[in-house]
Amino acid sequence: MHKIILHEVGPRDGLQMEKETVPLEFKIKWIQAGMDAGIDIVQVGSFVNPQKVPQMADTDKLCAHFMQPGMKPKAVILSALVLNEKGVDRGMACNVEMFCMGVSASETHSRKNTGMGISEALTRIIAMAKVVQAAGKKVQVSVQSAFGCGYEGAVPEGRVIEIVGRYLEAGVRAISLADTAGHATPDRVEKLFAALRQLDDQVECACHFHNTYGLGLANCYAAMRAGVGYFESAFAGLGGCPFTAVAGGNVCTEDLVHMLQHMNLRHDVKLEELTRIAADVSRFFKRELLGVVYNTGAIP
């Protein structure tokens, strides 16, 4: 089995829709605990307009904290989401190690999410990716709504492949397919990632599934079968895109790790630490969350 890399997006995608603002000290505690548990990449936040997404207003402070010497394990990569050129500038100023950016394959979702159509968004994202690469930083680009759109329904596979082809032409090979609306099914996951590899067998594939219709872990397994190496998930299954018709939580980090470990993978990750994070997040928000294993405990 190829190596599985875990990308925790809870501090960003997990929290962006929450109405109750999470204090900086709680975010620091949860991020630090995830790093200590053995997570490979942590997405600390997004460089977006704090008026539109108040939960992300402290992303600069979080980056400044964890980029101090000795504040994170050397092997852990800090990532952040950027939507525009100003976000790239802020990320550079904070010395972010990995920039995540993307384009929706749905015209409607693209305009609701960024205020731009697909063509304009793609041109700008590719230019931004080149700037980041020229600075020696890692960049991962994504195709959002790659498996369907809450507004438009089915998204043509050819449109997804066309966007990926533009990324590859620009020299960007770390590519994520994001199931923003949660419409993916395992068969389509395998088919679409196989199509990516036909374009370029050196592509570094990542996946980002939402569990809107209960298919998140099944789609992760299909992605593993298709050779995907990077898996994005959120503690306690929090999250969802605020600009889709039916928002569903992310694949749950501790549930994903639990599955992997019972497949004899990623035993280096401390599952009990991840379940403690989920329980603490649940206590903070004063409600039961979508994760399963933090409530049931692991299979012996």
Catalytic residues: 241
**Torsional class of 292: left (φ above 0), alpha (ψ -120 to 50), beta (otherwise):** alpha
Give the strand pairing for 77-82 and 98-104.
parallel
Q: Are strands 230-233 and 204-209 parallel, antiparallel or unpaired?
A: parallel
Q: Which burial class, exposed, middle or buried, applies to 195 when counting CB atoms under 10 A from its CB (0-12, 13-18, 19+)?
A: middle
For residue 265, how many other CB atoms are within 10 A of its CB?
16
Integer CA distances (angstroms), 83 to 105, 128, 214, 277, 296, in order: 15, 9, 28, 28, 38
Q: How far, rounded to the nearest angstrom, does the alpha carbon of residue 51 sit from its chain's CA centroid?
A: 22
* CB within 8 Å of 122: residues ≥ 6 apart: 103, 163, 166
From CA 80, how far away is CA 29, in angstroms rounded? Answer: 18
Task: Please check whether residue 9 is in contact with residue 250, taking contact to mean a CB–CB distance below 8 angstroms.
Answer: yes
H or E element, residue 277:
helix 271-285
